Structure 1
Amino acid sequence: MSGSGDTEPSQVKMAAQIPKAFQRLMVSSLTPKFRNAISVETVSMVTPGPKEVVVKNRFVGINASDVNFSAGRYDPTKVPPFQIGFEGLGVVTAAGAESRFKVGQPIAYLHDGAFSEYKVLPSRFAIPIPSLKAEYIPLMVSGLTAAISFDEVGDLKKGETVLITAAAGGTGQFAVQLAKKAGCHVIGTCSTEAKMEFLKSIGCDRPINYKKEDLNEVLKTEYPKGVDVVYESVGAQMFDTCVNRLAVKGRLIVIGFITGYKSDTGYTPIRGGATLPPKVQ
């Protein structure tokens, strides 16, 4: 196995000790049952091309989207085996002559195949970071999802009411903070008292533990004019409630459908084994 370029080994800057082979996770069959979809593959170490780097992964991001990717939902034309994992954080262990990176330099990246001991990466996808801290990982998939959603679709305005479902989750917590920074009143759903306290600590105005309070009744009673913007990632009944409680000219951003990720179709299973997409009542 080799990199995409024709760089001679003498032109490549390499760390003193690099293994001759490494392991990575591969999607070997399409199924939403992640453990069944994955196999471990051992591959030979790569000499990077002139505009490539080899990264020793130290941290990787685990996302709900990994389940959808391994089920073949993002790209129906993608045939196993293929690599899995969207984001990584590590140290450059080998760098092509034109890569602009140094051996030992910490970088972050967004690229398929992060679930691997080492990653061969086109240098244009490498993002220099000050140090190796796991806290940088959520900024990429989770943070960018929230930021792009609000910037491109949400059209947040100061004083508006924003509802964020799964608000204590990976991307939800970013959405809470961004909405507050935009001057909005923020409602956030969660499932435990500990998450309620966490949401308060990051500025959520009205955290709701949906296991103890009825979301529809809370919104109907406390927000009779409706919600201006919804950042929705749960689906099923939660989706229905959000649609029904939208204000006039409200915007609903669907960024996920967690309740259906593990089903064969991607929708939430109902009685009798059938599945249905969300229903608006």
Structure 2
Amino acid sequence: MSNTMKSYIYASAGGPEVLESQTRPIPEPADHEVLIKVAAFGLNRADVQQRKGVYPPPPGESDIPGLEVSGVIARVGKQVTGFAEGDHVAALLASGGYAQYVSVDASHLLDIPEQLDLVEAAGLPEVASTVVSNIFLEGQLQAGETLLIHGGSGGIGSMAIQLAKDAGATVIVTASSEEKIDYCKSLGADEGINYREEDVLQRIRELTDAKGADLILDVVGAKYLAMNLKALAVGGRLVIIGLQGGAKAELDLGTLMGKRARVIGTTLRARPAAEKTAIVAETAQRIAPLLGSGKLHLNVTKKFDFEDLISAHEYFDSGTHVGKIVVRA
């Protein structure tokens, strides 16, 4: 094995053109880590936000972007148990995924069944961990409740639909076209709202018999805050995981208190390692039966080669994609 690998960094903040190919040393795994020979990595909105200069990696983490990979274990640290060289795995990362090799804490690995396409598995760790941490651990979704997902056709939405339905929830999504709504329904969504043509709040009230949603998973932020509060049921929870519609808005405390509602803001990337370990463990427990039975669709709708990473970012920026985008390493 050579001592070097190909990788990508962002040379500056900007558009896809700031991606720069670099040769780097292959990282040495610590005693609690494994070294993964990367088969593919997922492309996430967080990567794009970092590229634009608004979502830097946590202190001490690699300047190589990338929050999730799949691949084969090439080396195992001295303290690692439960994994061996040659195992197929996917990994949740704080950074470092845009490379041919990456070292990762062994407790942040997901075991990938041999029958599962290893390249497609790259689209699993970030979205699955994000969904599990936010709709189950933070949002406390229960069977029989109604979940509203904004941006249902994206990678996170695609996973959230499936896991929420498996947990016995009713799922309503918003999306920008009828085609995207049809895609969401093919994954199990019960209802879809075209936010470009319909009054979202009115439709939520109609679909829930004026009760509202018990849980809302929101990637929009400020632009939707007032509407989301009105759309919540009594005792509802609003989990904000993205700021595509801005970061600052006025909060109507009267509505919040009157509904005994909760507003929860979270991120996954910067959490301490121990918290990520707990999240990955819960994620593995929830998805393992679905992966083993073939019931979980990874929804990888577009694959790019390593040399075409700029094109992958351009495609992501176009806003036309559904599901997950992965890049073969």
Partner deviation per Cα, 1:210-265 (whole Å, 9 max, x = no partner): 122221221244432222211111234333321222122211111112345xxxxx
Match of 1:143 in 2: 128
Deviation at 1:202, TM superposition (A): 2.0
- Note closer, same or farther for the CA distance 1:278–1:20 as it changes in structure 2 (3 Å cut): same
Number of matched residues? 246
Q: Following the alignment from structure 1 to structure 2, what is the Cα–Cα distance between the partners of residues 47 and 231? A: 38
Q: Is the 8 A contact 1:24 1:41 kept in 2?
A: yes
Partner deviation per Cα, 1:123-171 (whole Å, 9 max, x = no partner): 4544442235234233311112111212222222333222111111111
- Note closer, same or farther for the CA distance 1:177–1:92 as it changes in structure 2 (3 Å cut): closer
Tell me, yes or no, if structure 1 residue 65 matches structure 2 residue 51.
Answer: no
5 Å-filtered alignment, 1:1-281, equals 18-29=1-12, 31=13, 33=14, 35=16, 38-45=19-26, 52-70=33-51, 71=53, 73=55, 82-95=63-76, 102-111=84-93, 112-131=95-114, 132-223=117-208, 224-260=210-246, 267=247, 277-280=248-251
Partner deviation per Cα, 1:83-139 (whole Å, 9 max, x = no partner): 211111112344556656554432221222010022234545444422352342333
Q: TM-score, normalised by structure 1?
A: 0.74
- Note closer, same or farther for the CA distance 1:222–1:97 as it changes in structure 2 (3 Å cut): closer
Higher normalized contact order (CA 8 Å, seq sep 6+, divided by chain length): 2
Partner deviation per Cα, 1:53-87 (whole Å, 9 max, x = no partner): 432211101111123345353667569x7221111
Q: Following the alignment from structure 2 to structure 1, what is the Cα–Cα distance between the partners of residues 60 and 54? A: 7
Alignment identity in percent?
30
- Does the residue aligned with 1:171 lie in a helix, a strand or coil? helix
Q: Following the alignment from structure 1 to structure 2, what is the Cα–Cα distance between the partners of residues 147 and 76? A: 22
Q: Is the 8 A contact 2:41 2:123 kept in 1?
A: no
Q: Is the 8 A contact 1:26 1:38 kept in 2?
A: yes
Match of 2:275 in 1: none
Amino acid at match of 2:45: A
Q: Following the alignment from structure 2 to structure 1, what is the Cα–Cα distance between the partners of residues 152 and 159? A: 8
Return the index of the structure with the highest Cα Rg: 1
Q: Following the alignment from structure 1 to structure 2, what is the Cα–Cα distance between the partners of residues 37 and 240? A: 36
Deviation at 1:176, TM superposition (A): 1.8
Q: Following the alignment from structure 1 to structure 2, what is the Cα–Cα distance between the partners of residues 181 and 45? A: 40
Match of 1:13 in 2: none
Gaps of 5+ in 2: 253-329
Q: Is the 8 A contact 2:223 2:245 kept in 1?
A: no
- Does the residue aligned with 1:231 lie in a helix, a strand or coil? strand
Q: Following the alignment from structure 1 to structure 2, what is the Cα–Cα distance between the partners of residues 234 and 211? A: 14
Q: Is the 8 A contact 1:232 1:239 kept in 2?
A: no
- Does the residue aligned with 2:43 lie in a helix, a strand or coil? coil
Q: Following the alignment from structure 1 to structure 2, what is the Cα–Cα distance between the partners of residues 250 and 45? A: 47
Q: Which has the higher helix share?
A: 2
Deviation at 1:20, TM superposition (A): 4.0
Gaps of 5+ in 1: 1-17, 261-266, 268-276
